Structure formats: structure tokens, C-alpha cells
């Protein structure tokens, strides 16, 4: 039987093998794709076996570093499983896209993508603070190397920014983890269940800052733009699609349940920052001159909305935020891959040189339009469902908060429409004439299509998803909700 | 008539083995001069292994003191002996095939063994006399080892600088222990502790003595502002010797510092703890910031090692069981990373036949991917990234600080490790600079296999220790207990 640990071990071991054996690039790509598909298959098995209850399932709990009270404890609830599922799907698509893009890269790049997957799944499943930290900081290593070696011209500065922000955040969190683990009743113990409610304010903020940086939450988003712009498009898809979810997930599944009192007491800070970030990033997205800029800022905006939804500390807010994380992962990964396609095929992502691509390219037009419509939350889409849940939660919380969120949602429609029309419609751009890119075909299409199909599936039956995770999300926020009711 | 003290030869066997091995090699050197062919190295490795074997076999025997209580043989001593032996073996692997090693290998190995004996001795010290003897034994050997590359001006300069500044450190230490002797009437740690506990800690003579001892040992550990010799000496010395110094010397000097402060001078905690806090903060921040702006790789690593020394002061400040355990584990974790990093530098120097700088390593990673990737992992270990043993080291050190309400000191340590990521990044970007791919030179060199073996061994220790550190932590806890329970 496949256990949770298997999902981590398979990509980890595969990445080491691909790293050590000097495969040819294509062979390494196929092997990595195979492994990522196997992981995806395993995850589908878990979804099939999953029971929609509140508690954690599929637990593995064995001794690891005994003298420090550290155990290898991984398990999944509905939220974790949702995150693991989108990770597996997006990583598989990203590997496919990387093979299609076919740049001059060694087998190492594929190994690093798989290593990222292993660390990410560890973050989403860890039930021990030490293991969580290993995943949370460890995933930086492969992403950093991918950015530093294969990034664009400005990669030095971008890498430096990523390091400075994220390392500082995670290391402060390490101090918090040490405090919780070492002061556990009955000797050092890093199990999360034992840490509930024992933290004080500084520990709470040490955790919160690390997660806010990763999400990213305004005003700690400074590293995001350089990283999204300078990394290759598929890595940007990983960063914005899943790596950012590590932050959002940690807010919901670790920060709020572990620190219910502080989460309730300081919720207003996160709601305020989320609201500011949502509006501010949406405005800026509207003024971006290129496709990646729009996608990157929309990503910041959407994650701000997620954090806002979580800290409403209500059922609707939390379920909406989880659903929104899944939707946004799919949308932003697809958007970044499309942006990457534009850059490789049309030579640029700048709106000035693009335009008119819909003409005689029906597949591209259809895919782009579907993803674009989903991103602007057209009624009937899954993004609409999740944003609507958060919106409802916001209105329940404070009427003016609901108004702010509505404005943000309208802004999202504006910048996404601008994005779609600047690429597909308007006058034919200069570079489009020069390069005359073909339609979206086989390789790239196969990499993007699964994301679109899942989006469509979720749009058709959103309740299938929300019903299954409802109990999990409620159990995560229930303590904090009670605290805030006091 | 003077009564000779009783000597427990079996307990001293690990140290004696090294000394005997060294003498045998010196004798042998007269016969095989210039025709070494690795015999010296083989005997050296064997000697280190036997010394470690003696130490391991005596692991479970109860602690004892011998040589008129001047030497204490406990689990801490045994542990340090094993670590030093490991450092020595790895250093010999790195050095194999090096020009000078081919010419005067036996002498080189003999000196290395003698340095190891001195380090074992200082770690076993129970009296200021032993501290001084051990210190001089390994320092003098290292002065010569630093200058061993006699045809290189840098190496001679390095040896000379180390000689002058190292001697200043030794003199200050002797001066301080003389004051303590004057105040308490003994060199013996236990007697000093008893006298100080009884008399209180207000005596000016004692305070002066404590400060001078602290300064003297700080020279050896290489914390700021007593670090001036470190960058120059590390840069000029033969690279394998640099690796040995940054790993083994640090272990020996830190253990000596812990023995002196925690065994002999716990009563003076109010004097030395604040001083150490200041030193630790200056060293952590100063070392890593200075490392950022270096262009010579060995200098950069030298400053990184200074920063690491500041980090190592934290557990001594914290004290207690968890503090000393953290110190020992951190030292043991640091050694393979340091030796490994310098081994990669040594490999690069052989490839490019020159000094390793940020310029010379540009694109080198594509020619030697395994070594370069190992370098990245060693540097990630310095910065304390998960799945390296450096992370566990940092974890236990910061843990001890957080546990004993030194959170702010832990925050400083965290900031310094964030800064240290800066030079990590500079090295990664340079090694894997795609634009310089073609210019990477690759000269055919001898003995590369042995350097590679050393790198891979270090890498394995770093990774296995990072994933399964339980055994190491248990060992460190046992050894730490012998330090705390000693009195």
C-alpha cells in the first residue's frame, strides 16, 4: 500500500538518481516525467481512498532523531491532500513543459524540479515541526539553484532577493520552532499536536513572518517580482503555482491551529494587509507592460485574498481560501506556461510586440481564453465559486471589507481582460509578424491542457471539492473561531 | 627526592600512539627521502586509525586522571581524539599527490601526527600546564606545516605570521595562568575552582588572570578582534593544512576553552560570560560581513570560519548540559564541512595551477560537477540548510540558546547566517557561470582520485549526519556530561 512517505520518497530518490547518473537530457526528462506521473497516480489513489472527515489520515509516524524528540510524522487531511494533488499535477505539467521548451540544460535541472516536489509534499504533509521546517526551507535549495544557474539576465539580483527575504523569514521561524519543541511538556518533542496553544506572541510572529514572506503578503513581497521575472517560465509556474501555496497552507493548517489565541487576536493585521495587498497588486497588474508582469502581480493579489480569507476565521472564509488556493495554483501555473510559450515562440512577452495571436491559431486562442476567463472569475468558473465564498465571508465579517474585496474582484476582471486582448486581439504585434509563431501544438499543449481540464472539472462540480474538505478546514480554524468569539 | 607521578599508559595510549608514529616517521624519513611513494601517508593514516581505535575501545571505561592529575581521560577526551584522527586521515587524503608531499611526505605526516597529539593533549588538559604544553605542541607543528611549501612566498609568510601572532597568544595565556596561580596557588583546574569558590570572584588578580586566559585562548580559536592572523595564515598555508587547521584546531581550542571556563573558572562566570557575548556578536557579524567582500576563495572561507567560531561561542555562554552538548556536536559537524570545502579548493588549485579566486573558478563547476556540487552542499551546511549536518549543528546550538533565554543572541546568529548566504551565492554563481564555460581549464594532475575520495567522504558525512544525526547527538551528550560532571 502506498503511504504518505512514499509520495515524498519517490521523487526524492528519483531526483538523487537523476542527479548522480549522467543521463542524456531527453532521457532524464522522460524519466522525470515518468516519476512525476507516478506520483500523480499515487495521489489520485489517495483521493480515492480519502474520507471526508476532519482528522488527519494516512499517517506515518516513526522515530527519527530520538535525542532531540523528533519523529518522522507525516499525514494528510483534506487541505493537505488538495495541496499535494495540485503539486503533483503542476510538477508533472512543468516537467512536460520543460521537455518541450528543450533548452540547453543538463539532467540536473530535472532532478532539481523533482527535489522541489519532494520538499513541497513534505511541507504539505508534515505533522512534526522539524520535518515541516526541513521542507519549508529545503525547497529553497533546488529553486535557488534553478534560478541562479538557469535564470535570465538579472538572475543575480533576483536570487539575492529571494535568499535575503526567505532565509531571514524561515530562520526566525526556526527559533520559534525550537522554542515550541524544546519547552514541550515531558522533554523535547516537536510534534505539532503538542505545540497547540503553547506559543506566545513572538513565536507567533516568527512563524507568521516566514509564512507571509512565502505567500507573499504585502509588504513582504519584494522578492517576488524579480524571482517570477528572471526564472524560466516553468520555474515561475512552480514558484507561483505551488511554492507560494506553502505560505498560504502554512497560515491555514499550521499557524491558525497552533496559535488560536494569537490568530484571533491579531487577525485584523492579516485581514488589513491582505486587503491592501489585494487592491494594490491588482492596480499595479493593470499597468504592467508585459504578460509575466500581469500574471505575477495577479498572483500576489490572489494570494493576498487567500490570506484575507483564512483570517476571517469563518467556515466560508477558510473553505473559500483553500478552494481559491487550488484554483489559483492551476490558473497561475497555466498563465505562466502560456507566458513562457509566448516568450519562446514569439520572442517576447511584451504587449507592445504581441497582439493578434488569435488569428488562425484557434487552439491557443481557446486555451488562453478559458484560462483568462477563469482568472477573472467569470460566473460559473471555479474561481468565481471560491472568490464568492471569500466575498460572503468578508461581508459576514464587516460590510466594508466585503466592498473592498468586491472592488478587487472587479479590478481582476479588468487586468485579465487587458491581458487576454493584448495577446489575442488588437492589432498584430511587430514580433508576431516576424516570428509568425505556430499554433499551440502537441508538447506545449499537453503540458497546459491538464491544468485547463481540471479547472473545467472544478467549475462544473465545485461542491464535489468543497464538500470533501469542509470538515478539514473547519477543524483547523475552530479553536481560533472560538477565541475570536470570546 | 622527587616522587615520580604514576602514569596510566593505557589511558594515554591514543596520544602516545600519535607521538610514537611521528618519531617512527621522522626516523624513516632519513632513509626514504624523496622516494616516499605514499609510504608516509600510509603510516600516518594507520597511526591515526590506531589512535582512534584506542580511544573508541576505552569509550566505556570510567573517567580518570593521570600524570599527577594534569590530564583527564574521559569521554570528551576520547571523542576529541576520534575527531582529530578523522580530520587527520581526511587531511592526508587531500594532501596525497601534492608536490611537497612527494618530496618530503614523511616529515609532513610526522608533523601532522605531532599536531594531532598536541590537540588531543589540550583537550585532555586538567591543568594550565597541560593546556600550555598541548597548545605549544600543536602550534609549533602547525607553524612548520603552514610554511611547508618552502618555494612559495605566501606559505613562508603564512608560517611566519602564524608564528609571531600565535606566540603572542601563547604568551598572554601563560601570563594569565601565572596570575591565576598567584591568586590560588595552583595550576590544577579543580584546585583553582575550589579556591575561587571559597574566596569569591572579586580579586583583581583573578579577574586579570581570567581575562588574559580568555584573550590567549581567543587568539587560538580565532574570534574577533583576535582574528588578524586567520585570513593571512589560511590564505598562505598549503590548502590541506588550512583545512586541517580550520577543523581540528578549532575543535581542540574550543574544547580547551570549554574545559578552562567551565571546569576551572565557573566561579568567574560573571567576568567571562559578558565578554564572550560581546566577542560572539562581533565575530558572527564581522566574520560573515568580511567574507562577503573577499575575492580569494581561501580568504573567504577563512572569514566564514571566523564567523563560525563566533557561533561556537554561543553554547559556551549558554553553558549547562544542552550548551556543552551543542558545542561538541557543532564542532564535530563543522569539521567535515570545513575539510571538504578546502579539499574542493585544493582540487581547484591543482586544476588551474594557481590561486583560487572568484575569477578563476568561473565556469569550473561544469568541468568538475561533483566537486562543485559538493562545494555547494558544504557551503549550504555552513549556512545551516536542512539535510546537511550543519543544519543539525545550528539546530542544537540555537536550541540551547532559545532554551536558556538567549533568544536575542540566537537572532544575531540567524542574521549572520542570512548574511553568509551572500558569499555562498557568489561562489555558486561563479562556479556555474554559463558564459565562462569554455574557459574552464583542466590540467591533468596526479593524485586527484585521492582528493576526490576525501571530498566524497566529507560529503557523505555531511549528508548522513544531516539526515540521521541521532548517534552523533548521543555521543555529544555523553561527552558533554563528562565535562559538566567532571567536578
Neighbours of B263 (CB within 10 A): 19
Cβ contacts of residue A247 below 8 Å, gap of 6+?
A211, A212, A213, A214, A215, A216, A217, A303
Q: What is the pTM of this model?
A: 0.89
- In a domain? residue B289: yes
For residue B8, being part of any structural domain is answered with no
Choose the mutation target among A178, A213, A230 for the interface with B, i.e. most B CBs under 10 Å: A178
The two beta strands, B64-66 and B71-73, are antiparallel
Interface with chain A: mutation pick from B368, B374, B386, B472, highest number of A CBs within 10 Å? B386
- A145 to B428: CB separation less than 8 angstroms, yes or no: yes
How far is residue B59 CA from its own chain's centroid?
22
Cβ pair A134:B434 closer than 8 A? no
Which among A319, A208, A193, A309 has a CA at the least distance from the CA of A262? A208
Please report residues of A whose CB lies closer than 8 A to that of B385.
137-138, 140-141
**What is the nearest CA distance from A167 to chain B, expressed in angstroms?**
6
Tell me if chain B has a CB within 8 Å of the CB of A9: no
Q: Name the minimum distance, in Å, from the CA of B468 to any CA of chain A.
A: 7
Q: Is A175 within 8 Å of B386 when comparing Cβ atoms? A: no
Q: What is the distance between the alpha carbons of residues A61 and A5, in angstroms, rounded to a whole number?
A: 10
Distance from CA of A481 to the nearest CA of B (A): 30
By C-alpha distance, the chain A residue nearest B380 is A141
Complex ipTM value: 0.85
| Higher pLDDT, residue B358 or A213 | A213
The enclosing H or E element of B277 equals helix B269-292
With a cut of 60, say whether residue B487 has pLDDT above it: no
Distance from CA of A185 to the nearest CA of B (A): 13
The full 3-state SS of A202-254, as one line of letters, equals HHHHHHHHHHHHHCCCCCCCCCHHHHHHHCCHHHHHHHHHHHHHHHHHHHHHH
Question: Residue A283 contacts by C-beta under 8 Å, 6 or more apart in sequence?
Answer: A411
A304: nearest Cα among A269, A340, A342, A274: A274
The residue range of the domain holding B420 is: 13-485
Indicate which of A155, A174, A205 best probes the interface with B, i.e. most B CBs within 10 Å of its own CB: A174
Q: Are B402 and A133 inside 8 Å of each other by CB?
A: no
Does residue A137 belong to the interface with chain B, where contact is any CB pair within 8 Å?
A: yes
Model pLDDT for residues B284-306, shown as the tens digit of each residue: 999 999 998 888 999 999 999 99
User: Which positions in chain B touch A120 (Cβ < 8 Å)?
Assistant: none
User: At which residue does the C-alpha cell 522554542 appear?
Assistant: A179
Partner residue opposite B402 with nearest CB, options A149, A156, A179: A179
Sorting pLDDT into bands at 50, 70 and 90, what band is B186?
confident
Asked if B411 and A172 come within 8 Å (Cβ–Cβ), the reply is yes
The string of pLDDT tens digits covering residues B411-466 is: 899 888 888 888 888 888 888 877 765 544 555 555 578 888 888 899 999 999 88
pLDDT of residue B302: 92
Work out how many CB contacts closer than 8 A connect A with B: 87
CA dist A81 and A85 (Å) reads: 6
Provide the β-strand partners of residue A74: A60, A126
Instruction: Locate the chain B residue with the closest alpha carbon to A168.
Output: B418
- The owner of cell 495571436 is A357
Instruction: Identify the CA nearest to A453 among candidates A330, A299, A295, A363.
Output: A330
Interface residue A151 vs chain B (CB under 8 A): no
- Give the other-Cβ count within 10 Å of A198's Cβ: 14
Q: Is the pLDDT of residue B127 over 50?
A: yes
Task: Using a CB–CB cutoff of 8 Å, tell me whether A134 touches chain B.
Answer: yes
What average pLDDT does this structure show over B149-154?
83
Neighbours of A456 (CB within 10 A): 13
Q: How far apart are CA B48 and CA B357, in angstroms?
A: 33
Q: Which residues of B touch A68 (CB under 8 A)?
A: 395-396, 399, 473
The minimal CB distance from B425 to the residues A64, A66, A160 is found for A160
Indicate the average pLDDT of chain B: 85
Q: How many domains does chain B contain in total?
A: 1
- As given in the structure block, the three cell numbers for residue A128 are 512534526
Out of B380, B421, B432, name the one closest to residue A149 (CB).
B432
Burial A403-421 (b: 16+ CB within 10 A, else e): ebbeebbebbeebbebbbe
Q: Which of A134, A155, A175, A209 to mutate to probe the B interface, most B CBs <10 Å?
A: A175
| B111 inside domain | yes
* Residue B364, domain member (yes or no): yes
The answer to whether the CB atoms of B399 and A178 lie below 8 A apart is yes
A178 touching chain B per CB within 8 A: yes
* Sequence spans of domains, chain A: 266-486
Task: Pick out chain A residues at pLDDT < 70.
Answer: 1, 104, 431-433, 435, 486
Nearest to B284 by CA among B391, B380, B394: B394
CB–CB contact B421 A164 (8 Å): yes
Cβ-based contacts of A66 with chain B (< 8 Å): 470
> In B, which residues are within 8 Å of A160 by CB distance?
422, 425
Amino acid at each position: 500500500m502506498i503511504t504518505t512517505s512514499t509520495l515524498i520518497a519517490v521523487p526524492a530518490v528519483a531526483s538523487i538518481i537523476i542527479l548522480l547518473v549522467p543521463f542524456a537530457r531527453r532521457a532524464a526528462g522522460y524519466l522525470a516525467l515518468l516519476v512525476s506521473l507516478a506520483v500523480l497516480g499515487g495521489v489520485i489513489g489517495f483521493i480515492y481512498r480519502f474520507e471526508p472527515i476532519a482528522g488527519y489520515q494516512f499517517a506515518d509516524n516513526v522515530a527519527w532523531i530520538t535525542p532531540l524528540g523528533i519523529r518522522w510524522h507525516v499525514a494528510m487531511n483534506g487541505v493537505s491532500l488538495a495541496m499535494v494533488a495540485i503539486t503533483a499535477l503542476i510538477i508533472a505539467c512543468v516537467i512536460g513543459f520543460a521537455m518541450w521548451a528543450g533548452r540547453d540544460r543538463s539532467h540536473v535541472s530535472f532532478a532539481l524540479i523533482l527535489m522541489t516536489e519532494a520538499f513541497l509534499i513534505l511541507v504539505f504533509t508534515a505533522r512534526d515541526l522539524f520535518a515541516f521546517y526541513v521542507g519549508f526551507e529545503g525547497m529553497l535549495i533546488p529553486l535557488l539553484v534553478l534560478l541562479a544557474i538557469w535564470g535570465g539576465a538579472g538572475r543575480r539580483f533576483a536570487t539575492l532577493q529571494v535568499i535575503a527575504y526567505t532565509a531571514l523569514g524561515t530562520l526566525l521561524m526556526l527559533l520559534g520552532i525550537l522554542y515550541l519543541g524544546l519547552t514541550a511538556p515531558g522533554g523535547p518533542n516537536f510534534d505539532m499536536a503538542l505545540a497547540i496553544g503553547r506559543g506566545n506572541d513572538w513565536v507567533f510572529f516568527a512563524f507568521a513572518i516566514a509564512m507571509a514572506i512565502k505567500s507573499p503578503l504585502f509588504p513582504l513581497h519584494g522578492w517576488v517580482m524579480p524571482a517570477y521575472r528572471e526564472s524560466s517560465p516553468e520555474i515561475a509556474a512552480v514558484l507561483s503555482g505551488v511554492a507560494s501555496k506553502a505560505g498560504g497552507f502554512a497560515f491555514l493548517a499550521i499557524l491558525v491551529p497552533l496559535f488560536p489565541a494569537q490568530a484571533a487576536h491579531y487577525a485584523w493585521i492579516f485581514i488589513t494587509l491582505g486587503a491592501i495587498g489585494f487592491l494594490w497588486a491588482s492596480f499595479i497588474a493593470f499597468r504592467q507592460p508585459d504578460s509575466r508582469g500581469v500574471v505575477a502581480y495577479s498572483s500576489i493579489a490572489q494570494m493576498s485574498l487567500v490570506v484575507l480569507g483564512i483570517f476571517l476565521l469563518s467556515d466560508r472564509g477558510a473553505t473559500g481560501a483553500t478552494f481559491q488556493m487550488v484554483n489559483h495554483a492551476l490558473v497561475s501555473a497555466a498563465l505562466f506556461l502560456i507566458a513562457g510559450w509566448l516568450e519562446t515562440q514569439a520572442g517576447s512577452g511584451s504587449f507592445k510586440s504581441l497582439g493578434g495571436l488569435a488569428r488562425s491559431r484557434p487552439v491557443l486562442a481557446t486555451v488562453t481564453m478559458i484560462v483568462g476567463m477563469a482568472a477573472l472569475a467569470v460566473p460559473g468558473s471555479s474561481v468565481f465559486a471560491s472568490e464568492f465564498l471569500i466575498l460572503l465571508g468578508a461581508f459576514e465579517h464587516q460590510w466594508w471589507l466585503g466592498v473592498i474585496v468586491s472592488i478587487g474582484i472587479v479590478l481582476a476582471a479588468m487586468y485579465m481582460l487587458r491581458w487576454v486582448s493584448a495577446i489575442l486581439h488588437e492589432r498584430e504585434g511587430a514580433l508576431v509578424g516576424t516570428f509568425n509563431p505556430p499554433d499551440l501544438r502537441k508538447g506545449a499543449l499537453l503540458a497546459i491542457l491538464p491544468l485547463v481540464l481540471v479547472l473545467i472539472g472544478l467549475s462544473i462540480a465545485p461542491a464535489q471539492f468543497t464538500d470533501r474538505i469542509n470538515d478539514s478546514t473547519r477543524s483547523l480554524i475552530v479553536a481560533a473561531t472560538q477565541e475570536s468569539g470570546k | 627526592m622527587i616522587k615520580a607521578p604514576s602514569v596510566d599508559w593505557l589511558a594515554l595510549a591514543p596520544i602516545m600512539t600519535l607521538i610514537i608514529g611521528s618519531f617512527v616517521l621522522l626516523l624513516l624519513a632519513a632513509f626514504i627521502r624523496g622516494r616516499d611513494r605514499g609510504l608516509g601517508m600510509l603510516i600516518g593514516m594507520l597511526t591515526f586509525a590506531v589512535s582512534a581505535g584506542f580511544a573508541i575501545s576505552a569509550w566505556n571505561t570510567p573517567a580518570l586522571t593521570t600524570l599527577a592529575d594534569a590530564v583527564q581521560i574521559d569521554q570528551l577526551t576520547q571523542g576529541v581524539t576520534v575527531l582529530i584522527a578523522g580530520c587527520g586521515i581526511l587531511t592526508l587524503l587531500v594532501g596525497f599527490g601534492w608536490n611537497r608531499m612527494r618530496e618530503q611526505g614523511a616529515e609532513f605526516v610526522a608533523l601532522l601526527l605531532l599536531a594531532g597529539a598536541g590537540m588531543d593533549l589540550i583537550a585532555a588538559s586538567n591543568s594550565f600546564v597541560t593546556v600550555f604544553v598541548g597548545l605549544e605542541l600543536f602550534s609549533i607543528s602547525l607553524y612548520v606545516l603552514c610554511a611547508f611549501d618552502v618555494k612559495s612566498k605566501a606559505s613562508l609568510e603564512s608560517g611566519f605570521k602564524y608564528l609571531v601572532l600565535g606566540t603572542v597568544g601563547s604568551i598572554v595565556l601563560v601570563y594569565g595562568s601565572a596570575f591565576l596561580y598567584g591568586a590560588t596557588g595552583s595550576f590544577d583546574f579543580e584546585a583553582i575552582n575550589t579556591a575561587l569558590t571559597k574566596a569569591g570572584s572579586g580579586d583583581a588578580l583573578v579577574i586579570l588572570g581570567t581575562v588574559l586566559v580568555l584573550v590567549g585562548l581567543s587568539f587560538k580559536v580565532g574570534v574577533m578582534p583576535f582574528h588578524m592572523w586567520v585570513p593571512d595564515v589560511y590564505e598562505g598555508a598549503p590548502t590541506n593544512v588550512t583545512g586541517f587547521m580550520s577543523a581540528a584546531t578549532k575543535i581542540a581550542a574550543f574544547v580547551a576553552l570549554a574545559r578552562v571556563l567551565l571546569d576551572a573558572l565557573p566561579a568567574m562566570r560573571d567576568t567571562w560570560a559578558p565578554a564572550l557575548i560581546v566577542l560572539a556578536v562581533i565575530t558572527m557579524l564581522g566574520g560573515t560581513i568580511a567574507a562577503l567582500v573577499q575575492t580569494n576563495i581561501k580568504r573567504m572561507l577563512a572569514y566564514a570560519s571566523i564567523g563560525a567560531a563566533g557561533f561556537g561561542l554561543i553554547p559556551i555562554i549558554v553553558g549547562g548540559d544542552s550548551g556543552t552538548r551543542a558545542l561538541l556536536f557543532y564542532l564535530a559537524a563543522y569539521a567535515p564541512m570545513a575539510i571538504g570545502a578546502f579539499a574542493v579548493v585544493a582540487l581547484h588549485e591543482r586544476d588551474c595551477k594557481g590561486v583560487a579566486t572568484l575569477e578563476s573558478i568561473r565556469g569550473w563547476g561544469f568541468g568538475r560537477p561533483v566537486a562543485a556540487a559538493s562545494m555547494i552542499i558544504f557551503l549550504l551546511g555552513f549556512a545551516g540548510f536542512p539535510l546537511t549536518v550543519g543544519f543539525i549543528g545550528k539546530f542544537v546550538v540555537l536550541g540551547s540558546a532559545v532554551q536558556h533565554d538567549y533568544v536575542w543572541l540566537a537572532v544575531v546568529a540567524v542574521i549572520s547566517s542570512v548574511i553568509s548566504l551572500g558569499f555562498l551565492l557568489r561562489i555558486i554563481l561563479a562556479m556555474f557561470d554559463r558564459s565562462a564555460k569554455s574557459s574552464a581549464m583542466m590540467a591533468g594532475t596526479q593524485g586527484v582520485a585521492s582528493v576526490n575520495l576525501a571530498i566524497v567522504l566529507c560529503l557523505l558525512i555531511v549528508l548522513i549526519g544531516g539526515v540521521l544525526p541521532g548517534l552523533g547527538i548521543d555521543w555529544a551528550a555523553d561527552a558533554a556530561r563528562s565535562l559538566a560532571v567532571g567536578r
